[in-house]
A and B are shown apart, each in its own frame.
Chain A
Amino acid sequence: MGLLSKKDAALITDPLADNNPITIQVLGICSALAITAELKASIVMALSVMAVLAIGNVVISLMRNIIPSKIRIIVQLIVVAALVIIVDLVLKAFAYELSKTLSVFVGLIITNCIIMGRFEAFALANGPWRSFLDGIGNAAGYGLILIIVGFFRELLGSGTLLGFKVLGDPIEKTGLYAMGYENNGFMLLSPMALIVVGIIIWIQRSKNTSLIEEN
């Protein structure tokens, strides 16, 4: 490995699979259920969280030696709130329609457990470079699940991908719809997102049985 040492590379690859924030740590579920009805929204959400988490991790890591531990949560909140507002304004400026779809959920990145979790668990104890990698890795793990869920929900629920009618036109009855296929309205409802996340968890744990918790 040229660019990253083995240990650093693990910071990125671990959260993608065996230590995934959503499927293993079961964090950040609310947003995963709320905004994954469209693939585009999932991708933008994933990128937003990645920006906030990577930059936030670096900022907290740089300040880690001067933050009094009694008020560290407040400091973390201020950092993440500032970053979220920046992301929100950028979205409003350059992708207004999409920011309306995401509505309050961009603001709610502040409360996304993954972010506070990584600040607490990693950035407070590691240097800026490693913290940055950790932020990218965890946000990527989160985004990966969001994109998988968004892919299936948009494909089966609306018959489109990123807005393109890949299965044909439901009103004109072309493509699959000519054969009697219909969109699955249940896919667009949040409960189905929970079931899709559940199925991903199921598949992951039956592939890697060491992930199954004993109780």
Chain B
Amino acid sequence: MGLKQNLHNLKEKYKGTKMAPAFNAIHTFLYLPNEVTHGGTHIKAADDLKRTMNIVIMALIPCLIFGMFNAGYQHYAAIDGSLRAAPLANFFTLDNLWIGVIKVLPLVIVSYGIGLLVEFIFAVIKGHEVEEGYLVTGMLVPLIVPVDTPLWMLAVAVVFGVVIGKEVFGGTGMNILNPALTIRAFLFFAYPTWMSGDKVWVYDAVNKAGTADAISGETILGSYAQNHEVVYTLWDKFFGFIPGSIGETSTFLILLGAAFLIFTKIGSWRIILSTFLGAAVMGFIFNQIVAADIITESSKFYGLMNTVWYEHLLIGGLAFGAVFMATDPVTAAQTNKGKWIYGFLAGFLAIMIRVFNPAYPEGVMLAILLMNVFAPTIDHYVVQGNIKKRLKRTKVKTA
């Protein structure tokens, strides 16, 4: 008797009991469900929730692998700066990957383990099937935290994010805020010393702080905000050989993921495009303000305002947020016109927070969370506007 039959038997045995959803979930996770729709018409579509989620995960895999190499690369490059002269030659080494394996994989395992545990518990309590919503969140979370995040902090944040961010609203599909960003926001406000500064972004920098071997791993945003010199070339920034949260450094791979999501029609190109557009416009406005000499070098905003607008798109978490966070179908605007407004404002506000708020060196998380809250309002007005327009049309005809 194979595993499938065993699982099937278990499922039948526990049918109708409290633990049924848990066994069902394991069964359908590994095998096709052995049930078909009962009764009349049914629409046949291959892209169920689980498959949709898997496609997003596939789009994230390159970022994860790159992030694992980058964890090691940033560590060794911080010790020996000469490595940065030839990033490509020193990037894909086994040493780098090993640090990725010991630092990044545990984050992934904790994120999935704790998150799915909470989902299972809630499914059993509520007595309905386990929802697949956490599959993507669980992958996103490790990609948007610094490499040195302690595992227990991540676990606490995941529990908070899944319970308060999602389950209290009724589970997958009912949440107002993006769960992955809720988890990150919780970490950011609860343990700010682990989520910002110039130590946490590079493996081991926290341990070595204050010793003779101290290494620093300031992010580019941090350097600009402090008016420090930035040593990375534009290509470094585009391909992602820079310090930052694990999976968000490589704009190139994120765009590759975006192309995949748009091609499979999972991600909304309107949101992705308009988020980049909003950020570019805001960055351009700041550039013009600097060009007009309204802000001079003595200002504390000078560093980030003077950053060329297209560079704003490459650094920080903007690309990752635009492609994988803002496009979350549950929390984004639903109408086409609404998506343009939603994305544009998310990008626009992200750069505004980034430049003006010294306490939050990166504004993408807060901007997207804010727009998540406004998304239903945007949709409401778009729909109302459409109703008004159509009413007018009928009036003209009948008159």
A residues engaging B (CB < 8 A)?
180-182, 184-187, 189, 195, 198, 202
Contacts and interface: CB of A to CB of B under 8 A. Distances in A.
Nearest to B153: A182
Interface in B185-220: 186, 189-194
Contact of B152 (A180, A185, A187): A180
B33 interface: no
A198 B164 CA distance: 10
Contact of A202 (B168, B190, B192): B168
B192 A185 contact: yes
B150 interface: yes
A185 B168 contact: no
Interface of B is mostly: helix
B190 A186 contact: yes
Interface string B142-167: 00000000101100100000001000
A186 B152 contact: no
Nearest to B168: A202
A186 B150 contact: no
A155 to B, nearest CB: 14
Contacts of B168: 198, 202
Contacts of B189: 185-186, 189
8 contacts: A180-B152, A182-B191, A184-B191, A185-B189, A186-B186, A186-B189, A195-B164, A198-B168
Contact of A185 (B150, B164, B191): B191
Contacts of A186: 186, 189-190
Contacts of A184: 156, 190-191
Contacts, number: 22
Contacts of B193: 182
Nearest to B151: A180
Interface string B78-122: 000000000000000000000000000000000000000000000
A185 B194 CA distance: 11
Contacts of B153: 182
Nearest to B164: A195
A185 B192 CA distance: 8
A42 B153 CA distance: 28
A198 B160 CA distance: 13
Given A185-B190, A195-B164, 7 more contacts: A180-B150, A181-B152, A182-B153, A182-B191, A185-B192, A186-B189, A202-B168
A187 B192 CA distance: 12
Contacts of A195: 164
A34 B150 CA distance: 30
Nearest to A187: B190
A187 B191 CA distance: 10
A190 to B, nearest CB: 11
A185 to B, nearest CB: 5
Nearest to A179: B152
Nearest to B125: A206
Contacts of A181: 152
Nearest to B185: A186
Nearest to A156: B190
A185 B156 CA distance: 13
Q: List 6 A-B pairs, minimum CB-CB distance, nearest first.
A: A186-B190, A186-B189, A184-B190, A185-B190, A182-B191, A195-B164
Contacts of B186: 186
Contacts of B192: 185
A161 B271 CA distance: 47
Nearest to B191: A182
A86 B124 CA distance: 54
A189 B188 CA distance: 12
A185 B185 CA distance: 12
B246 to A, nearest CB: 20
A61 to B, nearest CB: 41
Interface in B165-182: 168
Interface in B245-281: none
Contacts of A198: 168
A181 B192 CA distance: 14
Contacts of A189: 189
A187 B341 CA distance: 34
A209 B222 CA distance: 51
B167 to A, nearest CB: 10
A14 B138 CA distance: 44
A105 to B, nearest CB: 23
B212 to A, nearest CB: 21
Contacts of B152: 180-181
A184 B155 CA distance: 13
Nearest to A206: B125
Which of B153, B156, B189, B194 gathers most chain A CB within 10 Å? B189
